[in-house]
Amino acid sequence: MSRTNPLNSTVPISLHRVTSAWGEGTSNAGDPGGTGTTATPGDATWIHTFYPGSLWTTPGGDYLALISATTLVRDIGTYTWTSAQLIADVQSMLDNPAANFGWELIGDEASSFSNAKRFETRETTAAGRSPQLAIDWTFPVGVSESQWTAVKALYR
């Protein structure tokens, strides 16, 4: 997380799997951001999956109600989400890449202005601040290294 309100409160931020394709146009709110900007063709907005023609089924995004993982967020820094559901989501995305639309981060931005948090995106130019998906795993019991190498090659 790279920016927070000076009143800074601790809030839970949950990940929910997105269920619809969405776009990334060329809009850019500039530095430091936070005030929004005009949507450009292909942008995802509150109501559009791809501005200006395609809409979310539900304003704000189409995502599963099931929470993939939740973590408490307060100060600027690096945060980690982990859960058995998140692991199942990653496996599902590997098994069906065509249904991988990522996750939506959802916090409590309705009850207090001080809850607003900004997370970096893959486009950030700040060194070491790009979001990362890190997977820790244990070598499967009863599987040879050559078998495991063959399986890993399928997912690269």
Q: Among candidates 7, 13, 123, which has minimal Cα distance to 79?
A: 13
In a domain, 54, yes or no: no
Cα–Cα distance measured from residue 4 to residue 73, given in angstroms and rounded to the nearest whole number: 10
List, in order, residues 6 or more apart from 75 with CB less than 8 Å away: 1, 4, 8
In a domain, 108, yes or no: yes
pLDDT in tens, 55-93: 999 999 999 999 999 999 988 888 999 999 998 998 898
In a domain, 56, yes or no: no
Write down the pLDDT at residue 122: 77
In a domain, 94, yes or no: yes
In a domain, 9, yes or no: yes
Cα angle 80, 31, 21 (rounded to 5 degrees) comes to 55
In a domain, 67, yes or no: yes
pLDDT in tens, 78-137: 899 999 999 899 889 889 999 999 999 998 767 666 677 888 877 777 777 778 777 776
Provide the number of structural domains found in the chain. Answer: 1
Q: Which residue has 């309705």 as its token pair?
A: 110
In a domain, 45, yes or no: no
Q: Tokens in use for 133?
A: 């998906």
Domain hosting residue 147, numbered range:
3-19+62-154
pLDDT in tens, 13-40: 999 999 999 999 999 888 777 778 999 9
Write down the pLDDT at residue 2: 85
In a domain, 121, yes or no: yes
Whole-model pTM over 0.85? no
Write down the pLDDT at residue 115: 72
pLDDT value at 47 more than 80:
yes
